[in-house]
Amino acid sequence: MAEILVLDDVIDVGMMIRRILARKGHQVHVYSDEEPALAHARENPPSLAILDIKLKKMSGVEVLEELKKINPGIRVMMLTGYPTLETAKQSLQLGADEYCIKPIDIDELEEKTSQILARGGQA
């Protein structure tokens, strides 16, 4: 199964995502700070990153840009509780594969994760 990095400023959200995706056999690494998450991505490039748009120091869009510099082929799903057309457009232009709105629907998360990984050759 896939290596997945989750970055959300609310650790409980990340832990919930880990519980959901770990049941599918994925290895999920959860972070609430940008620097350790980016360091992890440099050391162990994940197949998929799930990023909240509102973070502590950077925006999820900025983290997306950094991750694409580290690994241009990384798959990315953006999460937000504050959806705007601007952030959706910006995320997709920078290479995000999907955009999900919080609160997270479990079925939608599982389905989108599996679709993204299938596109990347890792279901």
Domains and CATH numbers, the chain: 3-119 (3.40.50.2300)
pLDDT, tens digit, 9 for 90 and up, residues 38-90: 999 999 999 999 999 999 999 999 999 999 999 999 999 999 998 889 988 99
Sign of the CA dihedral with 11 first, then 13, 14, and 15 last:
positive
pLDDT of amino acid 120: 73
State both tokens at 119.
């596109």
- Specify whether the CB–CB gap between 38 and 63 falls below 8 A: yes
Query: How sure is the predictor about 122, in pLDDT bands with cuts at 50, 70 and 90?
Result: low
| 26-45 core/surface letters (b: 16 or more CB in 10 A; e: else) | bebbbbbebeebbebbeeee
Specify the pTM.
0.94
DSSP letter, residue 62: H
Residue 121 pLDDT more than 60?
no
Closest listed residue to residue 46, CA positions, set 8, 3, 1: 3
Residue 123 pLDDT more than 80?
no
Given the structure tokens 């919080």, which residue do they identify? Answer: 102
